[in-house]
Amino acid sequence: MADAITIRPAAPADAPILSELLEQLEHPAPVSEIPARLSALANFPNAAAFVATNGYGEVVGLATTHILPTIHRGRVAWLTTLVVLEDARGAGIGSALVRHVEQWAAGNGATTLSVNSGTRRKATHEFYRKRDYEHTGLRFTKNLAGDG
């Protein structure tokens, strides 16, 4: 893999590799659903999907983000997806994606950027701590789809 990392908006043509990345994140999504999901993000106010490409132009990482208005903190941003291909991890790709999202969020008026991470993802927690993210709370989730 070439060393140059480029960040660009995700595109429908990226669907096959995005499906693979989401599988590695343990949130599988069929290739056929990716274009509609990207379209939904594009149509949502203050949301974005970015991919990282290596020096060969191959997609090696994905990040998505949303900015939400809140009553208690103003505009807050969430890093809603971050994943790098397993064989490309450790090369600075995740860091580049996080920096890009931080800049995008600040440039769009967000006052904070938060991220959720599953409790068993210890290495991921350390990744965020090294980038000055603080552990500030717990997430509680309820499945509303009724499928498990």
Q: What is the pLDDT of residue 23?
A: 97
Q: What is the pLDDT of residue 1?
A: 43
Dump pLDDT digits (tens) for 89-105. Answer: 999 999 999 999 999 99
Pairing assessment for the beta strands 47-53 and 59-70 based on DSSP bridges = antiparallel
Q: What is the pLDDT of residue 2?
A: 46
118 vs 131, more confident: 131
pTM: 0.89
Q: What is the pLDDT of residue 148?
A: 56
Q: What is the DSSP letter of 91?
A: S
Residue 136 half-sphere exposure toward CB, CA atoms < 13 A = 9
Which residues, in sequence order, are bridge partners of residue 65?
48, 79
Is residue 101 within 8 Å of 50, Cβ to Cβ? yes
Instruction: Give the residue-averaged pLDDT of 34-47.
Output: 96
Instruction: List % helix, strand, coil for the chain (3-state, nearest 5).
Output: 35, 25, 40
- Quickly state the pLDDT bin for 135 (edges 50, 70, 90): confident
Q: Mean pLDDT lowest for which of 35-39, 99-103, 112-116?
A: 112-116
User: Which residues, in sequence order, are CB contacts of 51 under 8 Å at separation 6+?
Assistant: 7, 8, 9, 10, 11, 14, 18, 59, 61, 62, 63
Instruction: Give the residue-averaged pLDDT of 4-31.
Output: 96
Q: What is the pLDDT of residue 121?
A: 82
Dump pLDDT digits (tens) for 44-91. Answer: 999 999 999 999 999 999 999 999 999 998 999 999 999 999 999 999
Is the confidence at residue 3, as pLDDT, over 80? no
Instruction: Give the residue-averaged pLDDT of 11-23.
Output: 98
